[in-house]
A and B are shown apart, each in its own frame.
Chain A
């Protein structure tokens, strides 16, 4: 005789250990969950799309650009009285120095990406180090580090960047350090406060109750739980960094070699022909705006994905 399958048992009967939750069936991790929320967010798709195009263009600039960068072949097409606009040979026309505008913009993406990423990384690492020390160790270390960070923060970031760029001389590296240094306080404060609030949570008390080493608790438990907001901030800071590269170049503090295309400097150089050829400043300006928008959208979407409770 076959026994008919019994009616569905209560999932958590008094004798059976409580079963897995529906969630566990999906077998997803915390980051996977965030990834899924990210994929469903149109803001993230737009931001990610812009970023992908930007990175692609920056990486493959030599292949994509129609002409050689910094060519002076068409100098006569850019005079104080006439600037060649878009035509079949030059899709976006000729720039201030007689190079192909599209080519210069494409190579400019490369410069912006390198400076933006490297400077943000400089700010992120230095800031994260200070923030981890302050937030993890607390006490006197915290006081000293935060005093230093406060001083750094009290200097307007542009002024700080200008001073550093001026002190180190005109080079791309100086620009990166300058922009990165201005970001240190943002990352240090953010990570510190996240870590301090995390260190009051139950799992940290539980980890302490297990006698785990302090270093392990700080680096292995508190830090990984505090990284979310910092990653979001880094994405947002990339946008700011790209704008700041342009701003500092605009102020004449960037790369000295005129052969290196850079969006900020392209705006500056376009200024004296603004009356007759506004696109000289307009095209690089649009590039900066769109790229910054892309990183900002992605950063905001990341923030929501990592902390779904904060969603409106």
Chain B
């Protein structure tokens, strides 16, 4: 008999309780499923029975290639999925409050105040016709009841905090007057304006230049670490997660395929997909010119989970049973793993250490 393993549950999670994080999780996602149903089209199971937990102050990574359902998971948590043509099942418990099916007024009060989000594209996520100052003060007025003068002072403070030079002048700028990196800083300032308890960052650096990416990640780390704000970092890049997250969930085709404490995962990836993602991280200790090994095939090469393992068409370890039975997420080796034939050797060069 297989028992569905719920990752992050205290009893099944040895040595990951971080001091000061308390025992009750801040966010508990249980069997979350999101299905897009469009008339005349086959339903798309974008998120399929996803469960995970986040404690106060904890940093959790949700990793997977394009289309694996990361954004849809985050939108479901935030209650931001479109109203029509979507079926959401399962539970999202935020500090004892069920968010799925919560009335819109209550949800609107939580958003921006308790739960906040930073999106992928800073070029389009700010309103082009409103000054950045007003976009910050708007949130402060909405959730913190600040008056105009206080909100402005606070906005300048926030811009200072996110490292924007000459913030007193910048509050009067329009978004198009700022570079991409600066805009993402502004969006982070806005998201953190009310000191939310959970910050979801959905690929916050993907749209930025490489050097700026590192700056923004560093900024996020600075702002979030040492505070009670929990972070859900969504990315397709395990390298981003390596220096930032306590716990990592790897998603493929709508399901979690491996989830582990960061050190465990990087020391010894077990799922072939995780291994593939890891082999495609650029590494400093690798001699120049050694090509990165991308995962063969594309994320669209999937098998429906109901027929077997979705990763089978691209998996180097796949065998006949992978296309006949669906692997369950089971506890193994200090983690949860969904695979019949896990990796036994590190897919990266032997002897290398990481993170």
Which of A's residues lie within 8 Å of B, judged by CB? 12-14, 17-21, 23-24, 27-30, 201-203, 205-214, 216, 220-221, 224-225
Q: Report yes or no: A211 in contact with B176, Cβ–Cβ below 8 A.
A: no
Chain B min CB distance to A138 (Å) = 9
Q: Report yes or no: A21 in contact with B177, Cβ–Cβ below 8 A.
A: yes
Q: Report yes or no: B126 in contact with A209, Cβ–Cβ below 8 A.
A: no
Q: Report yes or no: A24 in contact with B119, Cβ–Cβ below 8 A.
A: no
Contacting residues of chain B (175-215) with chain A, CB-CB under 8 angstroms:
176-182, 185, 187, 190-191, 209, 211-212, 214-215
What separation, in Å, do the CA atoms of A189 and B132 have in the docked complex? 31
Residues of the B chain whose Cβ atoms lie less than 8 Å from the Cβ of A208: 80, 111
Contact partner, B179, options A20, A27, A30, Cβ 8 Å: A20
A to B CB contacts below 8 Å, 30 in the list: A17-B163, A17-B181, A17-B182, A17-B215, A18-B179, A18-B180, A21-B178, A24-B173, A30-B129, A30-B176, A201-B124, A203-B126, A203-B128, A205-B80, A206-B125, A206-B126, A206-B187, A207-B127, A209-B80, A209-B111, A210-B116, A210-B138, A210-B191, A211-B108, A211-B110, A211-B111, A211-B112, A214-B108, A220-B138, A221-B130
Q: Report yes or no: A24 in contact with B129, Cβ–Cβ below 8 A.
A: no
What separation, in Å, do the CA atoms of A205 and B187 have in the docked complex? 13
Chain B min CB distance to A71 (Å) = 52
Known: A27-B177, A201-B124, A202-B121. 7 other contacts (CB 8 A): A13-B211, A20-B182, A21-B177, A23-B177, A212-B142, A216-B138, A225-B127
Shortest Cβ distance from A226 into B: residue? B129
Residues of the A chain whose Cβ atoms lie less than 8 Å from the Cβ of B187: 206
Q: Report yes or no: A210 in contact with B126, Cβ–Cβ below 8 A.
A: no
Shortest Cβ distance from A227 into B: residue? B129
What separation, in Å, do the CA atoms of A212 and B119 have in the docked complex? 16
What separation, in Å, do the CA atoms of A28 and B174 have in the docked complex? 8
Question: B282 at the A/B interface (Cβ < 8 Å)?
Answer: no
What separation, in Å, do the CA atoms of A86 and B28 have in the docked complex? 89
What separation, in Å, do the CA atoms of A27 and B166 have in the docked complex? 14
Question: B303 at the A/B interface (Cβ < 8 Å)?
Answer: no
Residues of the B chain whose Cβ atoms lie less than 8 Å from the Cβ of A19: 165, 179
Q: Report yes or no: B127 in contact with A209, Cβ–Cβ below 8 A.
A: no
Question: B56 at the A/B interface (Cβ < 8 Å)?
Answer: no
What separation, in Å, do the CA atoms of A23 and B109 have in the docked complex? 37
Residues of the B chain whose Cβ atoms lie less than 8 Å from the Cβ of A30: 128-129, 174, 176
Contact partner, B174, options A29, A206, A211, Cβ 8 Å: A29
Q: Report yes or no: A202 in contact with B112, Cβ–Cβ below 8 A.
A: no
Question: B113 at the A/B interface (Cβ < 8 Å)?
Answer: yes
Shortest Cβ distance from A28 into B: residue? B177
Chain B min CB distance to A68 (Å) = 49
User: Assuming A12-B181, A209-B117, A225-B127, is B80 touching A17 (CB within 8 A)?
Assistant: no
Residues of the A chain whose Cβ atoms lie less than 8 Å from the Cβ of B178: 20-21, 24
What separation, in Å, do the CA atoms of A216 and B179 have in the docked complex? 27
Chain A min CB distance to B60 (Å) = 18
Question: B348 at the A/B interface (Cβ < 8 Å)?
Answer: no
Shortest Cβ distance from A27 into B: residue? B177
Residues of the A chain whose Cβ atoms lie less than 8 Å from the Cβ of B329: none
Shortest Cβ distance from A138 into B: residue? B83
Contact partner, B139, options A24, A201, A212, A224, Cβ 8 Å: A212
Residues of the B chain whose Cβ atoms lie less than 8 Å from the Cβ of A207: 127
Residues of the B chain whose Cβ atoms lie less than 8 Å from the Cβ of A13: 211
Q: Report yes or no: B112 in contact with A20, Cβ–Cβ below 8 A.
A: no
Question: B168 at the A/B interface (Cβ < 8 Å)?
Answer: no
Q: Report yes or no: B112 in contact with A210, Cβ–Cβ below 8 A.
A: yes
Contact partner, A211, options B125, B127, B143, Cβ 8 Å: B143
Flag B93-121 by CB within 8 Å of A: 1 or 0 each: 00000000000000111111100110101
What separation, in Å, do the CA atoms of A142 and B166 have in the docked complex? 45
Q: Report yes or no: B177 in contact with A212, Cβ–Cβ below 8 A.
A: no
Q: Report yes or no: A17 in contact with B113, Cβ–Cβ below 8 A.
A: no
What separation, in Å, do the CA atoms of A19 and B165 have in the docked complex? 8
**Which of B117, B127, B164, B178 gathers most chain A CB within 10 Å?**
B127
**Which of A23, A27, A202, A206 gathers most chain B CB within 10 Å?**
A206
What separation, in Å, do the CA atoms of A14 and B108 have in the docked complex? 37
Question: B78 at the A/B interface (Cβ < 8 Å)?
Answer: yes
Residues of the A chain whose Cβ atoms lie less than 8 Å from the Cβ of B174: 29-30
